[in-house]
Chain A
Amino acid sequence: MDNKINAPTFSAKTKMSEIITSSSLLSIIERLNIKLGFGEASINEICRRNNLSTELFLKICKVYAVESFVPDIENLTREDIPEIIGYLQRTHKYWTGSFFPNLHSNIHTMLDSCDGTSKRMLNKFYDDYDEEIKKHLDYEENTVFPYILSLIDSEQKNANSYRIKDFEENHSNIEEKLQDLKNIVIKYLPESASQQSRINVLNEIFKIEDDLNKHSIIENKILIPLVSKFE
């Protein structure tokens, strides 16, 4: 269980060490390249040392720590944009480099004892999903992020015909199949799949569901509105 920190008391003056109460908040520290060993330093102090906007840091933390929190872009500037992108990129890297391969091998273990047909179909289902995720992330990495970075780099008006609005339109829903997979594992997998292997897979799915959800909040409520201010 994640311990949610007390939202109202959580500000720039709060000790950094006090907000590290769950694995998801710990992963923010990791993705923002902030080193542990805070001592008694405040959030403000740690952000200053890391050249990071305290406002941005607090907004990201609240997205993860406070249920149904919807961030706005108040007090965020152009300078925060590369930092947000860096955060998103490191998240992608964690997913593709570690999370999804791990989930994949857990699914393999789970399906090992299933009959040929179920095994083959579910493996294919997962492979297709994997492909979908890759496409989705590649699009962000190769099209959206370079566009944004070039936009804020140049002083001139954007000559490119691409707009961040196009990103919103192309932003496919990668959570649907995950939901399907979750329900298949909970409800319909044959008994030959061991209980423990199913539980392992489900725990992973719960983790990624939450992460994907927070990730899209950051994209849709922070990144997209902020970038469209500079187009």
Chain B
Amino acid sequence: MSTKHKVTIIEPSEIVSAGLKQLVEYGGNFHVVKIFKSIQDYSENQNGNPDIILINPSVMNIGDTNERNILTTKDNVSIVAICYLAYNEETLRNYDGCIGMFCTQEQIEKKLQSALKTSSDKEQDDNSNELSARECEILTAVAKGKTNKEIADEFNLSIHTVISHRKNISHKLGINSIAGLTIYAVMNKLLDVEDF
């Protein structure tokens, strides 16, 4: 039981949430600790410290940092969308994964596993003083003058994730300005001077 990952579902439709619970728990790796019908219900009764939150994007816009903060104050919670409408790519990029109405049990299992992986990577990076491979890539892109939006597109990340990587980079290096980050990148051979 203790090795099972905890999942919270926020979904207005009981049919959907009950079905989802069945499928999510089927493989034995995940346990649905709580089901909420609305974000209000969630914020009033929230408990259980989930590893994954499954949420219907029509309930809230998690691209908005303030709203995301209502959902979770922890950084290492994965947030996966439950989609039975078509959402644009932009919206879905803010999630660590997306489960559609026609996903099979195996697909759901796989998506949840990879959502977990995304967040444990994050945790690992936070604990190290050295830049991770991903942070080096992002730093290089920043030094080349790319915007957060461009970096998000290039690496297929949400803007939220790019900003949080950039914060971690600046925190680790003690360098905030783009000019300073560029110098770091060149000195550490992450970037060729010819790139300028």
* Partner-B contacts on A (CB < 8 A): 117-118, 121-122, 125, 128, 176-177, 179-184, 187-190
Write out the residue numbers on chain B whose beta carbons fall within 8 Å of the beta carbon of A117. 186, 193
Q: Considering the complex of A and B, which 7 residue pairs feature the smallest CB-CB distances, nearest first?
A: A180-B180, A183-B174, A180-B175, A121-B183, A180-B177, A117-B193, A177-B177
Q: Is B127 an interface position by the 8 A CB rule?
A: no
A195 CA to B153 CA, complexed, in Å: 43
Q: Indicate if the CB atoms of A176 and B176 lie closer than 8 Å.
A: yes
**Which A residues lie within 8 Å of B179 (CB)?**
125, 128, 177, 180
Taking CB atoms, residues of chain B closer than 8 Å to A181 are 180
Shortest A104–chain B CB gap in Å is 17
Main secondary structure of the interface of B (DSSP, over half): helix
Write the chain B residue with the least CB distance to A173.
B176
Spell out B's residues near A (CB within 8 Å). 173-177, 179-180, 182-184, 186-188, 193
Q: Is the CB of A121 within 8 A of B182?
A: yes
The residue among B184, B187, B193 with the most chain A CB atoms within 10 A of its own CB is B187
Is the beta-carbon distance between B176 and A180 smaller than 8 angstroms? yes
The answer to whether A188 and B184 have CB atoms under 8 Å apart is yes
Residues of A within 8 Å of B186, CB to CB, are: 117-118, 121
Contacts of B174 in A (CB 8 A): 179-180, 182-183, 187
Residues of A within 8 A of B182 (CB): 121
In contact, A176 and B177 (Cβ under 8 angstroms): yes
A177–B179 Cα distance when bound, in Å, is: 9
CB distance from A20 to the nearest CB of B (A): 35
29 A/B residue pairs, CB under 8 Å, sorted by A: A117-B193, A118-B183, A118-B186, A121-B182, A121-B183, A121-B186, A125-B179, A125-B183, A176-B176, A176-B177, A177-B177, A177-B180, A179-B174, A179-B175, A180-B174, A180-B176, A180-B177, A180-B179, A180-B180, A182-B174, A183-B174, A183-B175, A183-B180, A184-B180, A184-B183, A184-B184, A187-B174, A188-B183, A190-B187
